[in-house]
């Protein structure tokens, strides 16, 4: 017998006292127990015209739907979360990426198993929702399930109890991150495998492999069969590696670690080690007794011998493939899910196909170029690239910890220096430990060096605030910089740059508008300056907020009033920064637990202004009274300017 409890959040409250607080997504939580097997069901019912973002949103996009299982007792999950229908995919201009979302209804399920006696699961779902004009902030809805002892009631579905706050969704965030879908990861990993083929630890092993199979295969058919099995063995070995990484950390944990500063610092250090190894500082090698043990297994012959031959290839070539595999695992791990497995499939496929083909058709060996110093050059180039990419992880850690050490100008300067070194290396002006002496400069190296030098010149204006879109997504954003207005620009239409930074909590916002990020500091400044306070309820992941900033705030009349007539504060409802334990509380208005800075400003907006959508603008006098009705999304700069003027006029009365 199946039992369920459906929670419709704050229905009565919204209907009676908070009619302007929207609740477009309603959740139903069900569970079904059959013996020791249990199934959890999370059903979202989405109002017409609204959409709920999927569980797979690229980094840098809006807040995705996420399920957190925090208190799990006697329960073991047996699969990953799945949805009952495909998400709608659409290109978002504000984010410059494909985003996926659901409309109408969608049901998520996850299966688990009782590991002993009665079991329980508690947690919450975090989500956002948007329509064409507005978004709601990311919210959390709690759930809990209780399951009986399978011996006592094997056919009975246990009651589940849902403790809930509000379910809401907010929209997209302007960012320059790339789409890291599985196909993208597979393709990048495949290119990494091709690069590994051209390293001095791998390329010379192709003729050795051909020699091994030529001696062992008595007929052409046997040679083809052995070659195919050799390639499959290589793929299996690397797939096992990807599976172990995924299993060790957990698919969800890997994704959650993508913004963890300490995890990103570890990744950065790992890439630095790999980079220096490729450049010739040292070699990363596995214990020799491992290699010898595998070699002895390979000598047995047959399919088992061929498998261990493939294993021996992986071990012997580790000093070259290790850094590439490590970098791929690092990047795939940040994408979460099955990305490490997909990445290893792509890498091993690129590595296995040539070995399998040459093993099956040894006559093709004559078409390969001769080994030489160019193989080491490939290694060094890869080292330069890994050195540059390591700073991406350092940058994430720096921004999350808000250290402002690796700001945009510093990051771009490091990349300029790194790729300048690469250009000089390709031109033969720099030699590293294992390089051969070059009597003349090959045309190929001249062309590649020239391309890299052009890239260096392209990045230079980025030091003065140029967008440098080719590297979009790697450096920190423009506002995370020593000079957010650009080098040499000390004023914003008459507002001295020094005044922007003197006040604690103040920063340069869109179009150079100075603004606060804390309500109380902004209010105090408004009282001191005798100006009205303009509150901008916004979100990092709110597309319509970005549309207002890009199309309305930039209007000369609007911008002038922002700069001269108001003290502006932007309150971000989707900031994930955790509040200290002593500052966390349960909202008297919504009954929801306020855990983060974003939760705090969301509760502030709902309790003060009966609204929970963004963008939303409020103008207050120095006694915190509204001088004009609040204002929502409107793409017409003239109407918004008229609203601002009305606020200024009423403030002066």
Over the stretch 109-153, which tens digit does the pLDDT of each residue have?
Answer: 999 888 877 888 888 898 888 877 677 877 778 888 888 776 544
Among 472, 471, 392, CA closest to 174: 472
**Angle separating helix axes 220-249 and 339-360, nearest 10 degrees:** 170
Res. 413: pLDDT tops 90: yes
Residue 174 has pLDDT above 60, yes or no: no
The pLDDT value recorded for residue 168 is 31
| pLDDT band at residue 651 using 50, 70 and 90 as cut-offs | very high
Q: Which residue has the higher pLDDT, 640 or 191?
A: 640
Give me the residue spans of the domains in the chain. 4-161, 182-370, 382-471, 491-573+614-652
Which range, 229-243, 274-288, 340-354, 447-461, has the best average confidence (pLDDT)? 447-461
Among 58-67, 261-270, 278-287, 632-641, name the one with the lowest average pLDDT: 278-287
Whole-number pLDDT of residue 523 = 92
Q: How many whole angstroms separate alpha carbon 380 and alpha carbon 275?
A: 8
Query: What mean pLDDT comes out for the span 35-60?
Result: 85
CA-to-CA distance for 375 and 403, rounded, in angstroms?
Answer: 40
Q: Rounded to the nearest 10 degrees, what angle do helices 205-216 and 302-316 cross at? A: 170
Distance CA 253, CA 642 (A): 49
Question: % helix / strand / coil in the chain, to the nearest 5?
Answer: 45, 20, 35
Determine the pLDDT at residue 201.
Answer: 61
Could you tell me which residue, 484 or 286, shows the higher pLDDT? 484
CA distance 190 to 188: 5
| pLDDT given for residue 488 in this prediction | 52
Which of residues 105 and 244 earns the better pLDDT score? 105
- Per-residue confidence band for 317, with pLDDT thresholds at 50, 70 and 90: low
**Domain spanning 491-573+614-652: CATH superfamily:** Glutaredoxin (3.40.30.10)
Instruction: Tell me the pLDDT band of 47, cut-offs 50, 70 and 90.
Output: confident
pLDDT at residue 274 in the model: 75
Residue 337 pLDDT greater than 70, yes or no: no
pLDDT of residue 136: 80
Whether the domain at 4-161 and the domain at 491-573+614-652 fall into the same CATH topology: no
Is the pLDDT higher at 200 or at 550?
A: 550
**In the chain, % of residues over pLDDT 90:** 16
pLDDT grade, residue 164 (50/70/90)? very low
C-alpha to C-alpha distances, 57 to 171, 183, 269, 443, nearest whole angstrom: 12, 14, 27, 43
Please report, for residues 151, 152, 621, the alpha-carbon distance to residue 180 in angstroms, rounded to integers and kept in the order given. Answer: 45, 47, 47
> 380-416 as b/e, with b when 16 or more CB fall inside 10 Å?
bbbbbbbbbbbbbbbbbbbbeeeeeebbbbbbbebbb
* E strand or H helix at 170: none
Residue 291 in this model has a pLDDT that exceeds 80: no
Q: How confident is the model at residue 41 (pLDDT cuts 50, 70, 90)?
A: very high
Mean pLDDT within 185-211? 72
Give the tens place of pLDDT for each residue, 424-433: 999 988 888 8
Q: pLDDT tens-digit profile of 370-398?
A: 555 666 787 788 788 889 888 887 887 88
Give percent above pLDDT 70 in the chain: 69
**53 cis-preceded (ω within 30 degrees of 0):** no
Kind plus residue range of the DSSP H or E element containing 286 = none
| 594-609 per-residue burial string, b: 16 or more CB within 10 A, e: under 16 | bbbbbbbbbbbbbeeb
DSSP-derived secondary structure for 111-139? EEEE-SSSEEEEEEEEE-EE-SS-BPPPE
The predicted model gives 580-585 an average pLDDT of 89
Both structure tokens of 263: 């995890």
Supply the pLDDT for residue 144. Answer: 87
Token representation of residue 132? 């064409």
Q: How much is the pLDDT for 534?
A: 95
CA 260 – CA 491 distance, rounded (Å): 36
Tell me which range, 279-288, 500-509, 589-598, is most confidently predicted by mean pLDDT. 589-598
Mean per-residue pLDDT, 555-569:
91
Residues 6+ apart with CB under 8 A from 357: 227, 231, 364
Residue 135 half-sphere exposure, CB side, CA atoms within 13 Å?
33
Largest CA distance in the chain: 100
Q: Give per-residue pLDDT as tens, 442-488.
A: 888 899 999 999 999 999 998 887 778 788 667 876 667 776 655 55
**Segment 203-228, tens digit of pLDDT:** 656 666 666 665 565 566 776 777 78
Q: Give the single-character DSSP code of 553.
A: I
Residue 235: other Cβ atoms inside 10 A: 19
pLDDT higher than 50, residue 520: yes
State how far the Cα of 383 lies from the Cα of 403, in Å rounded to an integer.
Answer: 27
Q: How far apart are the first and last CA of the chain?
A: 67
Whether the pLDDT of residue 156 is over 80: the answer is no
- Given a cut of 70, whether residue 588 has pLDDT beyond it is yes
Q: Which of 291-305, 321-335, 390-404, 451-465 shows the lowest mean pLDDT across its residues?
A: 291-305
Distances, alpha carbon 450 to alpha carbons 325, 424, 427, 429, in Å: 29, 9, 8, 13
DSSP state of 101: E
User: 262 — phi, psi (to 5°)?
Assistant: -75, -35
The arithmetic mean of pLDDT across residues 550-579, rounded, is 88
What distance in Å separates the CA atoms of residue 81 and residue 87, rounded to the nearest whole number? 14
pLDDT band at 299 (very low <50, low <70, confident <90, very high): low
**Is pLDDT of 19 > 60?**
no
DSSP label at 281? S
Q: Which fold has domain 4-161?
A: Immunoglobulin-like (2.60.40)
Look at 576 and 30; give whichever has higher pLDDT: 30
Mean pLDDT across the chain: 75
Bridging pattern class, strands 25-34 and 533-538: unpaired
Torsion of CA 640, 646, 652, 653, to 10 degrees: -160
pLDDT digits (tens, 9 = 90+) for 605-621: 888 988 888 889 999 99
Please determine, for residue 550, whether its predicted confidence score (pLDDT) is greater than 60: yes
**What's the pLDDT band for 163 if we cut at 50, 70, 90?**
very low
């Amino acid at each position: 017998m199946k039992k369920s409890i459906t929670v419709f959040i704050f229905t009565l409250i919204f209907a009676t006292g908070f009619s302007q607080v929207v609740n477009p997504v309603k959740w139903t939580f069900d569970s079904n127990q059959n013996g020791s097997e249990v199934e959890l069901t999370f059903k979202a019912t989405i109002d017409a015209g609204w959409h709920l973002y999927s569980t797979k949103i690229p980094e840098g996009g809006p807040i995705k739907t996420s399920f957190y299982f925090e208190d799990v007792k006697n329960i073991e999950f047996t699969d990953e979360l799945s949805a009952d229908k495909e998400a709608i995919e659409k290109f978002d201009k504000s984010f410059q990426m494909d985003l996926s979302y659901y409309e109408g209804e969608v049901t998520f399920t996850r299966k688990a198993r009782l590991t002993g006696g009665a079991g329980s699961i508690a947690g919450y779902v975090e989500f956002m929702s948007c329509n064409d004009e507005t978004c709601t902030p990311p919210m959390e809805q709690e759930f809990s399930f209780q399951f009986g002892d399978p011996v006592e009631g094997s056919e009975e579905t246990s009651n589940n109890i849902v403790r809930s706050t509000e379910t809401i969704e907010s929209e997209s965030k302007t960012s320059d991150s790339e789409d890291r879908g599985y196909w993208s990861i597979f393709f990048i990993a495949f290119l990494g495998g091709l690069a590994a083929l051209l390293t001095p630890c791998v390329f010379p092993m192709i003729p050795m492999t051909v020699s091994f199979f030529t001696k062992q295969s008595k007929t052409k058919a046997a040679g083809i069969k052995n070659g195919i099995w050799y390639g499959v063995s290589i793929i299996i070995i690397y797939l096992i590696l990807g599976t172990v990484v995924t299993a060790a950390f957990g698919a969800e944990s890997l994704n959650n670690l993508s913004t963890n500063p300490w995890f990103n610092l570890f990744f950065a250090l790992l890439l630095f080690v790999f980079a220096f190894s490729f450049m010739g500082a040292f070699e990363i090698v596995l214990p020799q007794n491992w290699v010898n043990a595998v070699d002895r297994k390979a000598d047995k012959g047959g399919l088992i011998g061929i498998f261990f031959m493939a294993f021996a290839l992986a071990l012997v070539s580790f000093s070259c493939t290790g850094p590439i595999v490590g970098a791929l695992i690092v990047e795939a791990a940040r994408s979460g899910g099955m990305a490490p497995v997909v990445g290893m499939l792509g890498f091993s496929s690129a590595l296995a196909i040539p070995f399998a083909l040459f093993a099956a058709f040894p006559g093709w060996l004559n078409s390969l170029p001769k080994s030489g110093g160019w193989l080491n050059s490939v290694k060094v180039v890869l080292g330069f690239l890994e050195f540059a990419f390591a700073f991406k992880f350092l940058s994430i850690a720096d921004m999350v910890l808000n250290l402002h050490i690796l700001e945009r100008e510093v990051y771009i300067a490091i990349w300029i220096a790194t790729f300048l070194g690469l250009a000089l290396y390709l031109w033969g002006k720099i030699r590293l430990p294992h390089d051969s002496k070059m009597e003349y400069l090959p045309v190929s190296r001249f062309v590649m060096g020239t391309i890299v030098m052009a890239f260096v010149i392209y990045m230079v204006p980025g030091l003065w605030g140029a967008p440098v879109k080719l590297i979009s997504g790697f450096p920190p954003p423009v506002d995370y910089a020593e000079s957010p207005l650009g080098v040499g620009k000390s004023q914003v239409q008459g507002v001295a740059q020094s005044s922007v930074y003197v006040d604690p909590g103040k920063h340069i916002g869109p179009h150079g508008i100075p603004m606060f990020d804390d309500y109380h500091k902004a209010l105090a400044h408004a009282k001191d300056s005798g100006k009205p306070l303009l509150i901008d309820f916004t979100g990092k992941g709110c597309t319509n907020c970005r549309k207002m900033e890009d199309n309305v705030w930039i209007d000369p009349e609007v911008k002038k009033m922002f700069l001269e007539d108001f003290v502006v504060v932007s309150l971000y409802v989707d900031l994930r920064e955790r509040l200290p334990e002593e500052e966390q509380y349960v909202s008297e208005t919504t009954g929801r637990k306020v855990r983060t800075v974003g939760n705090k400003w969301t509760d502030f907006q709902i309790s003060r202004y009966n609204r929970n959508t963004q963008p939303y603008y409020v103008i207050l006098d120095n006694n915190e009274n509204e001088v004009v009705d609040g204002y929502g999304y409107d793409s017409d700069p003239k109407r918004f300017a008229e609203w601002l003027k009305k606020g200024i006029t009423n403030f002066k009365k």
